[in-house]
Amino acid sequence: MQNQKGRHIRPALPQLHGVLALDKPSGPTSTACLTAIKRLGQKKIGHAGTLDPLASGVLVVLLGEATKIAPYVMEGEKAYLGELRLGMTTDTYDIQGAVTAEAPWEHVGQAALEAAVAAWKAETEQEVPPYSAAKHQGRPLYELARKGLATPVKRKKISVFDARLEHLALPSATFRVRVSAGVYIRSLVHSLGKRLGCGAVMTALTREASRPFELRQAHGLEDILADPQSLPGRVIPLEAALPHWRTVALDADAAALVRQGVRVRAGREAFAGENALLCDEDSRPLALARAEEADGGHRWAILRGLFGDPQPARRGGRTVPERTSTPNTGG
């Protein structure tokens, strides 16, 4: 196809439904990366967990109906490889911010730095950076900070599962850390600098995993843009987007009820609180569901409808047995 000026135009791809593990480059914002992919015909698009412009690595992009599963993808733990520099503090807690203080760092040795990194595992809350997307009265903190307005100090609960020093070249060092969703690695580095009394800033960061997706599965943005027609083959289908959830195939009657929001009966192997992806006989995803105790057994309560949200269930709606129940291998 050509436009009026005779230039070749690639036809837009149809809307895809699934997850794209994107290897975000350092530099552009997460929003800019999504905008580039959106231009390939992906009007319904989102992501599960923002990466700062400085950061690279796994950015989980959600396409089409997969945007509805964002809360369940975002809750997975994250793994990072980072770099820090001692002797400096900035307003953004990373090397891209304005320097607010400098201090001698020569008193810090390897043992002290190793202990300071390991101490992250004991932290249960952290200060949200003033330059962040966290909101105050509906406005992002970074918007207030850029205008020179006072930003409220916000703290949040966190979990750090593992943290260790990887390489030392003072005043710089690299580290690996595995954390719960929503942890600001910049804030961990900032807290380390305060404990050591010399300040510290993050100088580089790569997200190696956003569970269940890993960097080895991720695709480069430039590779995608250079060959848009390859995008469908790079997208993980919706039915494999939650490999840690069980997949339950329903017969036609049960599938019809799920589309109406009716809680259908779960099999004997289901347990209270279990999550599952409900599909029809053709493996087409219908809904995300959770098993709840009812009538001496369990029913699948709808968490989120897919490919057309189910209608609210009527009270007293009947239940039917599921046809089959098989584990989701994520293949």
Catalytic residues: 52
Beta-bridged to residue 58, according to DSSP, are: 23
Could you report how far apart the first and last alpha carbons of the chain are, in Å? 36
Q: Which of 71, 20, 26 is nearest to 181 (CA)?
A: 71
Beta-bridged to residue 24, according to DSSP, are: 57
Nearest 5°: phi and psi at 216? -65, -20
Residues in CB range of 298: below 8 A, 6 or more apart: 265, 266, 270, 271, 272, 291, 292
Q: Which tokens is 63 given?
A: 């396409």
Q: How far apart are CA 145 and CA 132, in angstroms?
A: 9
Q: Which of 107, 68, 64 is nearest to 87 (CA)?
A: 107
Q: Which tokens is 111 given?
A: 């043992």
Q: How far apart are CA 209 and CA 49, in angstroms?
A: 11
Would you report the helix, strand and coil content of the chain in percent, each value rounded to 5? Answer: 25, 35, 40
Q: How far apart are CA 161 and CA 240, in angstroms?
A: 26
Q: Which of 75, 92, 93 is nearest to 84 (CA)?
A: 93
Q: How would you class 226 by CB atoms within 10 Å of its CB: exposed for 0-12, middle for 13-18, buried for 19 or more?
A: exposed
Q: How far apart are CA 41 and CA 56, in angstroms?
A: 24
Identify whether the C-beta of residue 156 lies closer than 8 Å to the C-beta of residue 188: no
Identify whether the C-beta of residue 184 lies closer than 8 Å to the C-beta of residue 94: no
Q: Which of 78, 79, 117, 110 is nearest to 200 (CA)?
A: 117
